[in-house]
Chains A and B, each alone.
Chain A
Amino acid sequence: MLPARVRRAAGIEPGDLVVSVPLAPGTLLVEKVGGPPGRRLKELLESDDNPLRGAYGPDPQTYVDELRGPWRDDVAS
């Protein structure tokens, strides 16, 4: 097992999914193949880097209504 400080230095955090491959005596390749999706995704969503920010307009329900079409009650027959 890698010491905690080594894991942190390599950018590996608790809950991350990693694979390790011994390449040679004293050399271990550790690759992070996944993290805890919920926590990581929520962090991204809350950050200024969220690429979806503003993608649905000021009112999401209005966005949905535009896609689903007007309620027939609203349409003059």
Chain B
Amino acid sequence: MARRRSLVDAVRAAGHDAFVADTAPLIFRLERAAEPRFVRAGDPLFDRVDDGELGCIVSTIAAAELLVGAHRRGGSAIAVVDAFLRGPSIGVSPPDLGTAGIAAQILARGTLRRLGDAFIAATAVDLGLPLVTADRRLARSGAAEAFLVADFA
């Protein structure tokens, strides 16, 4: 029986050694309480990040979204998210004017309709990296090369 294609395979087959992570896949990794098949689908990817074999780019939009949940918990939850985001193979990417321009085009074309989604997709487009997301609408929008976690679960 053929081995199911993994997110690691998909990222590498696309010719990349890094990816942009949307917020929900990051939560799968950090919280480890979501539907187990989604946690399992993302784990090999983030294990490679831990090992330094793949880079993971996190938009500051996604970082802020992660931190909202952590701030609702307080102290140690914030420290865990902070430690993750400061990992050696994690890059936090702030939006600049170039990203803003790409996000604006995505919104103007109606490819996506939410500013947050557009900035996440624009980060991937700007860096020339695939986006890993749990949002089917974002993944199927065509705004960026994207891999949907559910397709690998």
Contacts and interface: CB of A to CB of B under 8 A. Distances in A.
B83 to A, nearest CB: 6
A75 to B, nearest CB: 9
Interface stretch (B7-15, B25-33, B123-131): B25-33
Contacts of A38: 47, 49-52, 87, 89
Given A38-B50, A41-B84, A55-B72, A60 B116 contact: no
A67 B137 CA distance: 16
A72 B110 CA distance: 10
Nearest to B86: A37
Contacts of B80: 41, 44-45, 50-52
Contacts of B31: 45, 50, 52-56, 60
- Chain B interface, DSSP helix/strand/loop, else mixed: helix
Interface residues of A, number: 27
Interface in A45-68: 45-46, 50-56, 58-61, 63-64, 67-68
A61 B81 CA distance: 18
Nearest to A45: B32
Nearest to B150: A61
A67 B89 CA distance: 26
Interface of B: 22-24, 27-34, 47, 49-52, 65, 68-70, 72-73, 75-77, 80-81, 83-84, 87-89, 113-117, 134-135, 137
26 contacts: A38-B47, A38-B89, A39-B50, A41-B80, A45-B31, A46-B32, A50-B32, A51-B75, A51-B76, A52-B30, A52-B69, A52-B73, A52-B80, A55-B31, A55-B70, A55-B73, A56-B27, A56-B34, A60-B31, A60-B34, A64-B24, A64-B27, A68-B116, A69-B116, A72-B114, A73-B113
